Amino acid sequence: MRVNTLIMIVLAGVFGVLAVVLANIWLASQRNAMARTDDVPRDTVVVAAVALKFGDTLSADKLREVAWPAGAIPDGAFKTTEELLTKDLPAGGGSKQALQAIGVNEPVLATKITGPGQRATLSAVLGEGMKAVSIRVNDVLGVAGFVFPGDRVDVLLTRTERGGDGADKSFVDVLLQSMKVLAVDQVADVSKDSPTVVKSVTLEASTKDAQKLTLAAGAGQLSLALRQAAASKGETTERVTLSDLTGETPADVAARQAELDKKAAAEAEAAAERKRADDKIAGLAQAVERVGSKLDDLSKVKPAPAVVSAPEVREVVKEVVKYVTPEPPARATVGVFRGVKLETYDVPRQP
């Protein structure tokens, strides 16, 4: 056997023994940790045995008790199922219902179920001093149906007002921010996750905000802007006008509106002028028609017989034309060439 082979076998054996020792040490530490955990005082907590949604009635078959570290029990948790189902209920009995979605093995807390004499209604989920206000929306203003109970939205108000120059000015303001959605139409179940086109959305608002929403519903058009789930803080906003859409200043908008008004006035004047011309033409046509009617009437009248008078006798005057020979002129003009030059002389005519 070669020396290298022998060395490899020895090293393999050493590493194998070392791995076994380390594994035993790790297992021992885990057993010690479990033993220390068993020493921690434990208690029980009631959790949901099945998934619960808004309005579900609580019963023993939907709940179960699980072990829970005594020092880590959540506030409002129940230790036993009997305590959860009967605590604070009247002597005549009754039932409790879920106010929001509760997952499997999630502790059932007092804030997630109805209290004594309560029903699973919208009023049971309102915060202290808060009100529920509904606003009308449609498939566009309601973010295409993607707003669900439990979401946070901003409420936008769109209005149109007439300025001092007589021009209409439209603008949009952020009326309220980070408003909690309590219900969509008549559904307040936060576990609902399928988009639905709705007609109304109910928001949780303070008394003053409820007044703003009610007043704004009649002052303009309300629309919703869905916020990020973790974005609950407000932000600085400003009014958006038509000039922000086109990049023009209010003076530019006013000048363009004045130009449009001037053009509209010119078109109205041209239309009035055309109407006056049409009226004149119509008047002339009526006058021609009246004249034609009179001519037709005159053509129907028989003419009176004409009286022939005796011919007038006129004196005939005869003219006699006599030829008179003119007298010859007393002087004559004589031309004489001297070389190439012509000379004229005025001389008396010989008889």
Q: Tell me, rounded to whole angstroms, the distance of Cα 290 from its chain centroid.
A: 62
Q: Name the residue with higher pLDDT: 340 or 80.
A: 80
pLDDT in tens, 98-108: 877 888 888 98
pTM of the entire structure? 0.46
Residue-level pLDDT at 119: 62
Q: Are 49 and 104 in contact (CB under 8 A)?
A: yes
Q: Are 200 and 182 in contact (CB under 8 A)?
A: no
Determine the Cα–Cα distance for residues 94 and 268; give it in Å rounded to an integer: 77
In which band, very low, low, confident or very high, does the pLDDT at 286 lie, cut at 50, 70 and 90? confident
pLDDT in tens, 4-48: 788 888 888 888 888 988 998 888 888 777 666 555 667 888 899
Instruction: Give the CA angle between residues 273, 279, 281 to the nearest 5°.
Output: 105
pLDDT score of 308 more than 60: no
The letter for the amino acid at 265 is A
Determine the Cα–Cα distance for residues 62 and 12; give it in Å rounded to an integer: 57
In which band, very low, low, confident or very high, does the pLDDT at 73 lie, cut at 50, 70 and 90? confident
The mean pLDDT value of the chain amounts to 78
In which band, very low, low, confident or very high, does the pLDDT at 120 lie, cut at 50, 70 and 90? low
Helix (H, G, I), strand (E, B) or coil at 72: helix
Determine the Cα–Cα distance for residues 146 and 210; give it in Å rounded to an integer: 23
Alpha carbons within 13 angstroms on the beta-carbon side of residue 276 total: 6
Residue-level pLDDT at 211: 92
Phi, psi of 78 (to 5 degrees): -110, 140
Instruction: Give the CA angle between residues 70, 75, 77 to the nearest 5°.
Output: 75
pLDDT in tens, 155-208: 888 888 877 766 778 888 988 888 888 888 766 555 555 566 667 888 889 999
Determine the Cα–Cα distance for residues 162 and 179; give it in Å rounded to an integer: 30
Q: Are 49 and 61 in contact (CB under 8 A)?
A: yes
Burial class (CB in 10 A: 0-12, 13-18, 19+), 289: exposed
In which band, very low, low, confident or very high, does the pLDDT at 229 lie, cut at 50, 70 and 90? low
Residue-level pLDDT at 134: 87
The letter for the amino acid at 300 is K
**Length in residues, the chain:** 351
Determine the Cα–Cα distance for residues 343 and 148; give it in Å rounded to an integer: 133
Element (H, E) at 105: none
pLDDT in tens, 234-274: 778 888 887 777 666 666 667 777 888 888 899 999 999 89
